[in-house]
Amino acid sequence: MAEPSQPSHRAAEPGLYQAPALGAHHHPRLAVFISGGGRSLLNLQDAIDIGDLSASIGLVIASRQTTGVDRARARGLHVLIESPPMPESRIDALLAEHRIGWIVLAGYLHLLAIPPRFRGKAVNIHPALLPDFGGPGMYGDRVHKAVLAAGKTTSGCTVHFCDDRYDTGQIILQLGCPVLPEDTPQTLAARVFAQECKAYPLALQRLLTAKPAPAAEARA
């Protein structure tokens, strides 16, 4: 995928996608990849349960046994544990077997080989305003420590398409929040995660229910 354009670091809801309603029988099936506690996964399932996200979670793939595995199974989700790196052929086979339409990374800490047919249908959420504070090794409190060390007054989260590198895919949506003088990595993380809980279901709903732009509009 091409490098993202430089975003403005502000709470943004770009008008790139329209959201017509989908019928109940046409909900895309998501494969959600996790490595930790599964909070983002459960947030997406909550959004599905209340009707804010027109999708279903057809498969959860965890990189290791973790509390997220137990939480997902407690919600009735089908979970597989697959040690990374996963071969592209294995990923493609599992997605086909479970009739998956979209790949959703939710705290997955490993570079994923995106099968060709899922390019443009694989997304991630990052706890900072990309392109700042992204790349290999930038996850969890490491991100928030870096934001504080840089003296930033604004942070937030970014939903973006996945490509073959960490955190470089095209940006879909960003939501911002203030960085307070008294913040620790933990207090900033909590404020950013509150924005993630809004941003991920919103971005996915826009993507999953978008109508293709007319050819003339697409070229504009």
Which residues are part of the catalytic machinery? 126
Q: Within 10 A of 111 (CB to CB), how many other CB atoms are there?
A: 14
| Residue 14 and residue 175 in contact, taking contact as beta carbons nearer than 8 Å | no
CA nearest 89: which of 115, 60, 118, 63? 115
Give CA–CA dist 47/58, Å, rounded: 15
Give CA–CA dist 187/148, Å, rounded: 11
| Residue 22 and residue 52 in contact, taking contact as beta carbons nearer than 8 Å | no
